[in-house]
Structures are given as structure tokens and as C-alpha cells.
Structure 1
């Protein structure tokens, strides 16, 4: 139950901002402890919500592992109290209805997981960037993946811009620019999905970034028999011929954490 003057007495999920030098999971645990009185263990990301690099929110599914629910006698500036609510959350005075889709995702994930458990990995990253899995499949069932050729072949990495307009533009535009400028290709991509992310807290400004591993799929209607030839020699299409790898890639196209813009 919120303690902030502008929404005092209204209900919301435990939430808050990361502190400087803090990891994503550490921030989750701290906010749940401060606002609800519980210790918890994250199980998976449910969704990544974003309005560009300047505003990113991680929605987690977690389980309580200890502590006791915060009571009105323990009210402070973080929250008034916490409770387990068994009924319809829409019957409560909510701070915002934006938690309802998250609750729906959690209910559906517990019933039938839509993607593998996905949690941040502690690896350093310099900018805020996107590592792209871009598969291309034709009607015959052939599959290619776009790779970068500098050094060992690897998935392309695109840095997010830092200008005021870029910080508010969402995470998709840098990827669409890659398709347009490096491939001379302007398909209408399907939804962006998150496969994983990496962040190492507490480092210097050179290593305290976040890298999102994302998949961008192209609907069948915008495809052709072969992928477009890259205009940039630093990129190439790699045919996926090993059947097991091909199956795993196609499966992840249907099983990624949703990215909501």
C-alpha cells in the first residue's frame, strides 16, 4: 500500500528504481524487502517494459523465501503495509492499472510457462546495447541467421543512442536502422522478444551498461526465397544446417520474454 502523498493508500506491486552501483536482482530483493517486508528469490523475467533507453522497467515473477508481511505499525516512507490479495485486484483502489497485464502474465506463466526461466547474467557491458538474433526462414524451411564477421563470427551488437530524441525513441529504432542501412531492407518486423540480458553492477562507467539479447522475427508475408545481401561487409548470413540448432532457434522465436514499448 503506497505511502507517497500523491497516491497514499492505493495499492501496487512492490516496485522502485535501481540505485547507483546496484544489480538488477539486488534491486528487486531490496525493494520487496523495503515495501513488503519479505525476502524473495526471482524465478524469471515476465516482461521488459521500455520507453527508450531512458526508461526501462523489469517485471519479475518471484517467490517469497522469508520475512513477514509489513503491517501498518511498520509503515514508513517506502509503504504503509503489504498483504496477500486473493481476489480480483481490480476491486482495489490501485495506484495504476498498469500492473494488471503483469499480473495476467504471471498467472499464465505459472499455468504454462511461455519461455524458459530468464534472469540477468553478471557480465560487464560498456554501453546500453542490443545483441540481435535475426533469423530468416523461407517457405522451403531453409534458415539463415545474420552474423557479424569482425573477429570470430558473432551476433551483431547495436549500441543505443544517447541524444535526447534517441533516449525516448524506444529500443526498436536502432535495430530497424541496421536493417535499413546495412541490409537495404525495410520489412515490417514482428514483436521484439528478449532472450536474456547481462549487467555487472558496481563497475566504472565503462562497464556498468546493460546488454539485451533480443530476437526480431520477420513475418512470412515480408520474406522472399533468400535473405537480402548485406551492403556492409562486416555482416553476412549464415545458413543453419544442423537440425538441432535450427529447432532451438525456431523454438525461441515463439518463447521469448515480451518487450512492451
Structure 2
């Protein structure tokens, strides 16, 4: 029965589905740590990459004093009580005027467990119904062409943004607020041309900490072994992130190395992160933690 449960868990995680986090195989000793909280000790950012059939990117013009007039992808911080998708949809509506739906997670970027950004390939709702027409002399679609909102123009400028517009991917407006969006735009274009992974969206499951569930594999010519937690029912191991100043500065991979060193007693293990298999978060009832299901090779 234990092997059947483990096989089902592995199938679920490899298929992009989630599993409830119940215990941590590696984490701080002693009392259970306090749950993470948005606006207190973690910051999550959502970012949307839109590409239309003309290979144009949706950008918004910043209204904030420190970067006013520069251009960037729709992005912003998550608020307490939101799911990741709800935060994405709110930010896009506030900054670009459109309702949207995420197609797939493109990237997870982090500066340690206290700052994590989720980038999505996204499309406006009702995009299948749009017509190929342009307002004369304008980068803005004519009103009503999207069933989910109207693209924000300079007439609707507010504290969230000055306007939004579609621009050729190879000729973006200047100045850009930062160059870090360029590789995300390239990722989106590459995914549309040739998807390297299945569509992946967050699974709404609660979690109290920032953690990673590992599918850690060891191979030889003929065999693949998967690391299994054996305390209680056999399970895929989970490691909590960021419980020392060094881990906060060093990034979330340090939690992976900690778990592997603890259970394998190897201090010079070569570990490669191969990709993200799934993302879990709920954000309701003060559950601001996230669980990333990660494939690593050892």
C-alpha cells in the first residue's frame, strides 16, 4: 500500500498537480516556525507576458515617481488573501485595463525565499473574439475589441499606470524600467514557438512556509532511483526554506542542499535543478506559504 501511495504521489507531482504539505523533512530544529506572512517577511510578485498574433508585446507605462514614463510588463506585488492567479488578474486590470487568463507559468525568479516573482504567459479574456483592426494612428485597440475590458489609454492614467499598448517584440519602446523583462519576453516567444514543458498553473493548496518538494533522482546506465522520505508513510521529501541569514541571502537552492546533506551525509554532492514540476499556494486564511515541486538530479 505504501508503494501505491508513493506511486500516486509521484504521478501527481510529475503531472503538475499538487499534494498537501503535511510535514517538513528538513527545517529548523525545535519549535515549529511561525507561518510566513505577506507584507511581513515575504514578498511575492506576479508578472504577465502577453504576445499577440502580430508578435507584439503588451507593455504599460509606469506612473510611479521613481520610474515615471518608463515601460514595463504588467507586474506587481501580491496582496494578503489573494491567490496567485487573482493577483495576476488584478494587476493586469489595474495597469492595462484588461481582464486576462494565465496560460502557463514561464518562470519563477527569487532572491532567497523572502522575494519570489512568478512570470506567466497570459492572454486577454475574449482574445479569440478579437478582430484584426487598429485605431487609426494609435497603438491601442479600438474600444470593445476585447470582451474582457478595454486597453488603458492616457485618458485613463492614474496612480497604477499612465497607459498600455502593444509594441513589436523586436522594437520595444524606450526607456524600459529595467532590462530584466527582455529574457521573459524571449521565454514567452520560445514557448509559443516550441513548448518545452506542458501548461503549468498554480494549484490552490494551503502551505504555511516557503518550501520545496523534491523529486530527487539518482541514475546509472539502467536504473533511476528517487529519494523517498521514510518518517511515517513513504513520501516525496519536503524541505523548508530560509531559516538562517545565509539561506536568506543564498537562495532557495540552499534548502535543497541542506536536505540532501542531512539524509545522505554527503558534503560534496553535485546537484542540478532540472525544472519546476508544480507550484502550490492558496493565500486564504493566512496561509501565505508556497510549495514548489522541483526535479533535481544528483
Under a length normalisation based on structure 2, what TM-score does the superposition of the two structures give? 0.69
The answer to whether residue 201 in structure 2 is matched with residue 119 in structure 1 is: yes
Question: Which segment drifts farther, 27-36 or 167-176?
Answer: 167-176
Q: What secondary structure, in the 3-state scheme, does the structure 1 residue paired with 2:76 have?
A: coil
Give distance in 2, aligned partners of 1:99 and 1:133.
Answer: 30
Structure 2 residue corresponding to 1:45, chosen from 105, 110, 115: 105
Q: Closer, same or farther in 2 for the Cα pair 1:212/1:87, shift >3 Å?
A: closer
Quick check: 1:202–1:208 contact (8 Å CA) kept in 2?
yes
Q: What secondary structure, in the 3-state scheme, does the structure 1 residue paired with 2:107 have?
A: strand
1:4-15 to 2 correspondences below 5 Å: 4-15=64-75
Shift of the alpha carbon at 1:64? 0.6
Q: What secondary structure, in the 3-state scheme, does the structure 2 residue paired with 1:83 have?
A: strand
Q: Runs of 4+ in structure 1 displaced over 4 angstroms?
A: none
The answer to whether residue 68 in structure 2 is matched with residue 68 in structure 1 is: no
1:90-239 to 2 correspondences below 5 Å: 90=172, 92-138=174-220, 140-185=221-266, 186-204=268-286, 207-218=287-298
Aligned position for 2:118: 58
Question: Which segment drifts farther, 84-93 or 209-218?
Answer: 84-93
The answer to whether residue 166 in structure 2 is matched with residue 84 in structure 1 is: yes
Give distance in 2, aligned partners of 1:91 and 1:73.
Answer: 19
Quick check: 1:172–1:192 contact (8 Å CA) kept in 2?
no
Give distance in 1, aligned partners of 2:295 and 2:171.
Answer: 33
Q: What secondary structure, in the 3-state scheme, does the structure 2 residue paired with 1:67 have?
A: coil
Give distance in 2, aligned partners of 1:163 and 1:152.
Answer: 29
* Deviation sequence 1:134-191 (CA, Å, 0-9, x none): 01110x2211100001222110000113444432320101111222232022222223
CA RMSD of aligned residues (A): 1.4
Quick check: 1:160–1:174 contact (8 Å CA) kept in 2?
yes
Quick check: 2:113–2:241 contact (8 Å CA) kept in 1?
yes
Give distance in 1, aligned partners of 2:178 and 2:195.
Answer: 26
Give distance in 1, aligned partners of 2:274 and 2:65.
Answer: 36
Quick check: 1:54–1:168 contact (8 Å CA) kept in 2?
no
